[in-house]
Amino acid sequence: MKNEGADYMISKFIKEGDKLELSAVNRKYSDVDEKPRVYNTKIYDIISEDTIEVLMPMEKTKLILLPLDSEYNVVFYGETGLFQCFVRVIDRYKSNNMFILTLEFISNLRKYQRREFYRFSCALEMASRSLEEEEVSAIEMKEPYVLQPNLPIRHSVIVDISGGGLRFLSTQKYEVDSFVYCSYNLIKGKNQKTYEIVGKVLAVKELPNRPGNYEHRVQYHNIDNKTREEIIRFIFEEERKNRKTE
């Protein structure tokens, strides 16, 4: 039912009639293609600060019945820009010949930049080192390679992470365009999993208030889809925990 006259903070960024895109967080609710399937629809009503109604997506003349309790990444096309959050489907029904989905926000609404992965602020311990000449040569020649074990590593701290890369601090200064071995642990369910990833350094700067400490921005190199999805899932779960705490 339409919520006439409601005035919520969220309506400063999105409103009734705004278009949006839904893409599945869990692969079982999406296609088996490389990229998650995207559903286009629009906002029907804003119920509260964390609940909205949207029109059920359609393909040609066929309704797409998104499952209850399924979770999606949403990008809203607001008047002032693009906004993103994660949602859960909590209801679906028919009203006045309109098929409606009720979505519950399970992360905060935030500004979204197209073509970028959402960066999650954190403080994660990481081990890093420059790649050996043989490792770099194999990467540049696009040949199979194995990271050499037991080489000296540096202590680093990840300050934000995304499905596309990470930003970390270290007393070691890595050169722009160099390849760096990155090893860190993420919580997966009730366990920790170690990720060993190669990244290409995009930018480096010395911290103005901490001489001898450097901030590096790194893009993952040849990361497989399963690993990328696991990292995005970790970010999603941490966002949900933070929202519950708030």
DSSP string for 65-96: -PPTT-EEEEEEEETTEEEEEEEEEEEEEEET
The residue among 62, 84, 111 that closes a domain is 111
Strands 19-24 and 38-48: antiparallel
The total number of structural domains in the chain stands at 2
Q: Flag whether pLDDT at 29 surpasses 50.
A: no
Single out the residue of 159, 178, 172 nearest to residue 219, CA to CA. 178
Lowest mean pLDDT segment, chosen from 31-45, 55-69, 92-106, 225-239: 31-45
Question: Has residue 3 been placed in a domain?
Answer: no
Question: Has residue 2 been placed in a domain?
Answer: no
Q: Are residues 128 and 60 in the same domain?
A: no
Q: Are residues 31 and 60 in the same domain?
A: yes
Which are the contacts of 116, defined by CB distance < 8 A and separation ≥ 6?
162, 164
Task: Indicate which CATH number applies to the domain containing 150.
Answer: 2.40.10.220
Average pLDDT, the chain: 86
Q: Cβ atoms within 10 A of the Cβ of 1, count?
A: 10
Q: Flag whether pLDDT at 178 surpasses 90.
A: yes
Confidence class of residue 96 from pLDDT cuts 50, 70 and 90? confident
Does 142 or 162 have the greater pLDDT score? 162
Question: Has residue 1 been placed in a domain?
Answer: no
The mean per-residue pLDDT over the stretch 218-223 comes to 91
- Distance separating alpha carbons of residues 158 and 137, to the nearest angstrom: 27
Q: Are residues 158 and 239 in the same domain?
A: yes
Which pLDDT value is given to residue 32? Answer: 39
DSSP reduced 3-state for 62: strand
The residue among 60, 86, 111 that closes a domain is 111
DSSP reduced 3-state for 219: strand
Q: Are residues 37 and 92 in the same domain?
A: yes
Determine the structural domain holding residue 23 and report its residue range.
Answer: 9-111
Which are the contacts of 65, defined by CB distance < 8 A and separation ≥ 6?
56, 92
Q: Are residues 17 and 41 in the same domain?
A: yes
Task: Indicate which CATH number applies to the domain containing 13.
Answer: 2.30.110.10
**Residues β-bridged to residue 24:** 72
C-alpha angle 183/26/109, rounded to 5°?
A: 85
- Distance separating alpha carbons of residues 84 and 20, to the nearest angstrom: 9
Q: Are residues 134 and 227 in the same domain?
A: yes
Question: Has residue 69 been placed in a domain?
Answer: yes
Tokens linked to 228:
């990328």
Q: Are residues 155 and 124 in the same domain?
A: yes
Confidence class of residue 115 from pLDDT cuts 50, 70 and 90? low
C-alpha angle 229/233/238, rounded to 5°?
A: 155
Which are the contacts of 219, defined by CB distance < 8 A and separation ≥ 6?
164, 165, 199, 200, 202
The residue among 83, 111, 139 that closes a domain is 111
Tokens linked to 44:
């029907």
